[in-house]
Amino acid sequence: MTDRNAPARAIALIMVATAFIAMTTLLAKAVGGPHLGTPLHPLQVSHGRFLFALMLIGTLCAVRRQQVRDVHWGWHALRTTFGWGGATLMFAAAARMPLSDATAISFLSPVFAMLLAIPLLGEKVGPVRWTAAGFALVGMLILLRPTAGAIQPAAMLALCAAVSMGAEAIFIKRLSGSEPPLQVLLINNSLGLCIATLAVLPVWQMPSTEQWAGLAGIGVAMALAQICYVNAMRMADASFVVPFTYATLIWAALYDAAVFGVIPDLVSWTGAAVIVAGGVLLAWREARRGTPVPPAPLPGDAAPGE
């Protein structure tokens, strides 16, 4: 029997997920800047994200007695490595530029996923998808604010994060449907914590009490976002859900304005709008094809192969 309320619940869940995802970049900006003490290195922010997310996901797995079996370790290792890299770069960008700009640039990840799918998955790209990619790349150029001197360094961090998350989406597609969602979350966060722990050792410093709270908030918010995201994807098609993920931009702008007093300018809104237009066109095309590409991870690592 078809659940007529499933699409509405999917929208509600994805909106909650986007609010949590934007919150992770807000907290990353707080702990990665001078707002709560000596700024923490992005590698330490990423480590905190995986540490506290694993604590929550691990507890949930224990309560539900989640069994781990039929694991595709190679795909998990590649997915987690690129996800960790994307999260770390995104947190670094968020600490150095307006959250709305960093978030908008991160939404280029589906475009990079599409481009990488050509050599890695053997997919063919038609004129509509190339047009969507063109829109998104124009939006990127607007947000990069190239000048006679140089492109904004922080924007380049966000761009590299988008490339990394686009690569992660390829491996999410490989995992999609092959393992239980909770198992994917558990393995992703476990492997991510191992990688993040090794990477953070040279730069680790004792966080202040406020920074510990911020790191915990990043991990918990991301874990909750992942849970909401997975359930939303189970209730509706990816092509239906994807356009609503752009609400992350709105949340990021609202958070930045409320907490840091940063108001997006006309350039920011224009660039974001062009990127969103490209993303929505890409989602529409995938819906018509009937084989939607899994949406690429959102800022700070999100989409867990549903």
Spatial CB neighbours of 105, under 8 Å, sequence gap ≥ 6: 93, 140, 143, 144, 155, 158, 159, 161, 162, 275
Cβ proximity of 233 and 306 under 8 Å: yes
Dist. CA 87–CA 226, nearest whole Å:
14
Task: Report residue 243 CA to chain centroid gap.
Answer: 14
Structure tokens at 198: 């090794």
Dist. CA 5–CA 77, nearest whole Å:
37
Q: Which residue from 39, 146, 152 is spatially nearest to 91, judged by alpha carbons?
A: 39
Cβ proximity of 156 and 163 under 8 Å: no
Handedness of CA 50, 192, 194, 60 (dihedral sign): positive
Q: How many Å from the N-terminal Cα to the C-terminal Cα in the chain?
A: 22
For 146, the 3-state DSSP assignment is: coil
How high is the pLDDT of residue 290? 56
pLDDT (tens place) for every residue of the chain, 306 residues total: 456 667 788 888 888 988 999 999 999 999 998 888 899 999 999 999 999 999 999 998 999 888 888 888 998 999 899 999 999 999 999 888 888 888 888 878 877 877 887 787 777 777 877 887 788 778 877 877 765 444 578 888 988 998 998 888 788 777 766 788 788 889 989 999 999 999 999 999 999 999 999 999 999 998 888 888 877 877 776 667 767 777 888 888 889 899 988 888 888 888 888 888 877 777 676 666 655 444 444 444 444 333
How high is the pLDDT of residue 260? 87
For 8, the 3-state DSSP assignment is: helix
Phi-psi region at 122: left, alpha or beta (left = phi > 0; alpha = psi -120 to 50): left
Spatial CB neighbours of 165, under 8 Å, sequence gap ≥ 6: 82, 83, 86, 90, 106, 109, 112, 296, 297, 298, 301
